[in-house]
Amino acid sequence: MSIKDHLLQIKSQLSEKVTLVAVSKTKPISDLMQAYEAGQRVFGENKIQEMTEKWQQMPKDIEWHMIGHVQSNKVKYMAEYVSLIHGVDSLKLLQEINKQAVKHNRVINCLLQMHIAEEETKFGLDEKELEVILHFVQNDKNGMTNIKVVGLMGMATFTDNQEQIKKEFQSLKTIFDKYKSLNTTNCQLNTLSTGMSGDYQLAIECGSTMVRIGSSIFGNRN
């Protein structure tokens, strides 16, 4: 099956409420263009330099999502164009995104990454840290006018245990539901990003509105 066939097959299983992020990291532009020509407009990358090179060369109606771990000193390289940053896991990083967005007169959408897995290696906030950040963002005195927190993101434990994965997805949905009534200019939680190639159907069952799918579209990573 071609990239187009894989993409259309996956899209046919998704409701209109679920956004598909085609995870295109390590893939050549020719592969991305096959997906683009099949109608895909949202692509996810985990390295800012690679994403920037693709942004420069590809059509400008694409939404570029940064899905990898972000170092504060690299934000400036994507602030001009990035549509959504998935893995915001500290106030310091959020402040840097705001600072760089100001320079480009943009508002950059962000997801706050929650730590839901039982693995220490995964990044993310606990609920107390989440509350502190949301409180800070909503206080006008702090000048966070060029970012918008639009939702939460989480990655489940890398395991075959479906019950554990389900429990982790559900715990994130519970936190999401608790805060989704927030409605300030720069804080409106409407996106819940969980689920990848191996578990996206379970994630959607548990309330995910955005899934990140790579290998099921493009084949295994290069």
Structural domains of the chain, ranges and CATH numbers in brackets: 3-217 (3.20.20.10)
For residue range 185-214, what is the model confidence (pLDDT) as tens digits?
A: 999 999 999 999 889 999 999 999 999 999
Tokens of 48: 């800012």
Tokens of 91: 């106030």
Under a CB-based contact definition with an 8 Å cutoff, are residues 110 and 83 in contact?
Answer: no
Cα distance between residue 209 and residue 190, in whole Å: 8
Under a CB-based contact definition with an 8 Å cutoff, are residues 217 and 10 in contact?
Answer: yes
Q: What is the DSSP letter of 143?
A: -
Mean pLDDT of 19-46: 97
What is the pLDDT, as a whole number, of residue 122? 62
Q: How high does pLDDT run on average in the chain?
A: 95
For residue 79, give the nearest of 111, 108, 54, 59 by alpha carbon: 108
Q: pTM value? A: 0.95
With residues binned 3-state (H G I as helix, E B as strand, rest as coil), the percentages for the chain, rounded to 5, are 40, 20, 40
For residue range 77-117, what is the model confidence (pLDDT) as tens digits?
A: 999 999 999 999 999 999 999 999 999 999 999 999 999 88
Under a CB-based contact definition with an 8 Å cutoff, are residues 209 and 172 in contact?
Answer: no
What is the pLDDT, as a whole number, of residue 222? 59
What is the pLDDT, as a whole number, of residue 123? 81
**What pLDDT band is residue 221 in, cutting at 50, 70 and 90?**
low
For residue range 133-189, what is the model confidence (pLDDT) as tens digits?
A: 999 999 999 999 999 999 999 999 888 999 999 999 999 999 999 999 999 999 999
The DSSP secondary structure of 101-169, one letter per residue, reads HHHTT--EEEEEEE--SS-TTS--B-HHHHHHHHHHHH-GGG---SEEEEEEEE---SSS-HHHHHHHH
> By percentage, how much of the chain surpasses pLDDT 70?
98
Cα distance between residue 6 and residue 34, in whole Å: 11
pLDDT greater than 80 at residue 119: no
* Alpha-carbon distances, residue 220 vs 17, 25, 26, 210 (angstroms): 27, 11, 10, 21
